[in-house]
Amino acid sequence: MLKYTDYDIVFSEIPDETTLAINLSNCPNHCPGCHSPQLMEDIGEPLTQESLSLIIDKYINGITCICFMGGDNDPKEVRHLAAFAKEKYQGIKTGWYSGKQELPSDFKTDSLDYIKLGPYIAALGALKAKTTNQRLYRLKKDGTHEDITYQFWKH
């Protein structure tokens, strides 16, 4: 089960998108130096199709993307909710910020347009640092992916 603690409209998580970022708790990664250590705890409200719809409905006219920030404790549910959002809200893009180095072997990315992979390593920096180990990929319909991490380095 996924739980969310809060959400916000952001402009920097997915390049060129106005994103509804939903912060998910119960993170199993426990990256040293994490910028949101409270998300390591099992806190928040269940994120279901119903609660996700209520959140999206508030902002649907002002967003182009929904990004699940975390959810490594239940990747299948991330995929399920992303697929639900794409089906219900035609044209909306979806993304997932995972702290894992790679996706689970059985994880299908067909419901996602973007995925960030990699744990936070303070010495390497976050996505905005050219030295980062983290990568943001644009997923294409043909199953390939494009590394777009460099877009964070423009500014």
Residue with tokens 């099992």: 42
- Return all residues near 103 (Cβ < 8 A) that are at least 6 apart: 75, 109, 115, 117
pTM: 0.95
The encoded tokens of residue 16 equal 């060129």
Residues 6+ apart with CB under 8 A from 79: 107, 108, 109, 111, 112
Q: What is the pLDDT of residue 120?
A: 92
Q: What is the pLDDT of residue 145?
A: 94
Contact of 122 with 131, CB cutoff 8 Å: no
How high is the pLDDT of residue 127? 94
Res 31: pLDDT:
85
CATH classification of the domain holding 89: 3.20.20.70
Residues with Cβ within 8 Å of 52's Cβ and at least 6 positions away in sequence, in order, are 22, 81, 84, 85
CB 115 within 8 A of CB 103: yes
pLDDT single digits (tens) 37-85: 899 999 999 999 999 999 999 999 999 999 999 999 999 999 999 999 9
Helix and strand counts by DSSP (H, E) for the chain = 2, 8
Q: How far is CA 67 from the centre of its chain?
A: 4
pLDDT tier, 155 (very low <50, low <70, confident <90, very high otherwise): low
What domain count does the chain have?
Answer: 1
pLDDT at 20 over 80: yes
Q: What is d(CA 13, CA 124) in angstroms, rounded to the nearest whole number?
A: 18
pLDDT per residue over 92-142, tens digit each?
A: 999 999 999 999 999 999 999 999 999 999 999 999 999 999 999 999 988
| Residue 149 belongs to domain spanning | 3-153
